[in-house]
Structure 1
Amino acid sequence: MLDATRETLAELGWGGLTMGHVATRAGVAKTTLYRRWPSKNELVVDAVATLFDELVLADLGSLRADIEAVVREFAELLARPETQAALLALFAEGTRDPQLRRRIREAIVDPQKQLVRQGRAYAQARGELDPDLDEEAAAEEIDIIFDTVAGTVEHRILVSGEPVTPEWIRRFTTLLLGPFPHLAGGGAA
């Protein structure tokens, strides 16, 4: 049903997508959809959220390597037509619907911030970053790091239509790690 939602959204766009279209494509009754998702908004958010469940952060031995790997995975996910169609539709609708924007944050954005927390924890365990002393400041940094990475990659692919190449990922990571000279220099680990 979630695959059918993304396919229908990519084909028909937000305005054209109906629960009936999704039900037909998925081979289920509309009542089946409505039992799980009371609205199109809920259905589309869950369909997009499952895409982002694919992103993982492996401990590759250095913060640089960890960042480069997750940026590459994120870029590959964003390059898919169904991801692009779904995200652009959600972003557009979310600007007009505060409840949808809240749901996007809860189901998609906040869970993905876990990757940043995990990356920081790996880097701290390796001694690349100092331990967090202030939880509030650490939470704010996590938000900023997430917004920087997600916003930059989304802008590059969804707005500019530019490719995310290995060289671009290396340069972006170097800029991101700039405040940490011992981590910023050098090539991929």
Structure 2
Amino acid sequence: MVAVMPKQPPRPDVTDGAVRTGPRGRPRSAEADCAILEATRAALVELGWSKLTMGDVATRAKVAKTTLYRRWAGKSELVVDAVAHLFDELELPDLGSLTADVECVVLRFAALLERPETRTALMAVVAEGTRDEALRGRIRSAIVDRQKGLVLQGRARAQARGELPYEDDPATAARNADLIFDVIAGAVVHRTLVSAEPVDAAWARRFTRLLLSGLASLRN
């Protein structure tokens, strides 16, 4: 008589003593991601939105096209992430006062928008977003909502310094943060990309005075 051994559950993958419980496959490479996003921005500057293809990006980044499609469903998602990666470079310095912090971040934001890859990529996704609701949603989540974190950080610092009052109502606080972001981002984007005027230290100083003190502060 032959004994029948009970079925054993499949062994988890073990590598160097570590148990891997996640999905099989090669881990995502941060280096490859950066190369792909950089290639996307370069292709946008050279070719424009309409001529940009996933195949062209793959060639420039020296990766297989399947590598792109494992990460991004299509061109729209890829380009938005390429833009978002640039905006993630923005940081809010702590210079000791709300005025100094705002002036500095305005100048850094404008300098970022002056870069050809930022300007071209941002204007491309905004233009396409006017015709694509899903793309607009991705722009909001990947770029706008993430950058609103700078507003929240700056407001919290100013409140801790006693420069701004605390808001008791969370809904009011959220609406105010949205408005502050819209005013700062809207003004800098319009002046840099639409009016094509410089955002220098003098303009940043006057804009910050207007933002913090209102129209009456611009009499002098």
**TM-score normalised per structure 1:** 0.94
Q: Where does structure 1 differ by over 3 angstroms across 4 or more consecutive aligned residues?
A: none
Counterpart of 2:103, as a letter, is E
CA distance in structure 2 between the partners assigned to 1:10 and 1:137 by the alignment: 40
Q: Does 1:30 align with 2:55?
A: no
Bigger relative CO (Cα 8 Å, ≥ 6 apart): 1
Instruction: Give the match for residue 120 of structure 1.
Output: 155
CA distance in structure 1 between the partners assigned to 2:101 and 2:167 by the alignment: 19
Select the residue among 140, 161, 170 that pairs with 1:105: 140
SS of 1:60's partner is coil
Deviation of the 1:38 alpha carbon: 1.0
The number of equivalent residue pairs is 183
Unmatched segments (≥5 aa) in structure 1? none
Deviation of the 1:134 alpha carbon: 1.0
Deviation of the 1:179 alpha carbon: 4.3
How far does the alpha carbon of each residue in 1:130-153 deviate from its partner, in whole angstroms, 9 at most, with x for none?
Answer: 112111111001101100000100
Instruction: Give the match for residue 65 of structure 1.
Output: 100
Cα-Cα RMSD: 1.4
Instruction: Give the match for residue 3 of structure 1.
Output: 38
Counterpart of 2:102, as a letter, is I
Select the residue among 119, 124, 138 that pairs with 1:84: 119
Select the residue among 112, 130, 141 that pairs with 1:95: 130
Select the residue among 134, 143, 168 that pairs with 1:133: 168
Unmatched segments (≥5 aa) in structure 2? 1-35
**Percent identity over the alignment?**
66
Which structure has the larger Rg over C-alpha atoms?
Answer: 2
Instruction: Give the match for residue 183 of structure 2.
Output: 148
How far does the alpha carbon of each residue in 1:141-170 deviate from its partner, in whole angstroms, 9 at most, with x for none?
Answer: 110110000010000011011111110000
Select the residue among 25, 39, 43 that pairs with 2:78: 43
How far does the alpha carbon of each residue in 1:15-53 deviate from its partner, in whole angstroms, 9 at most, with x for none?
Answer: 010001101111111111111111101100111000011
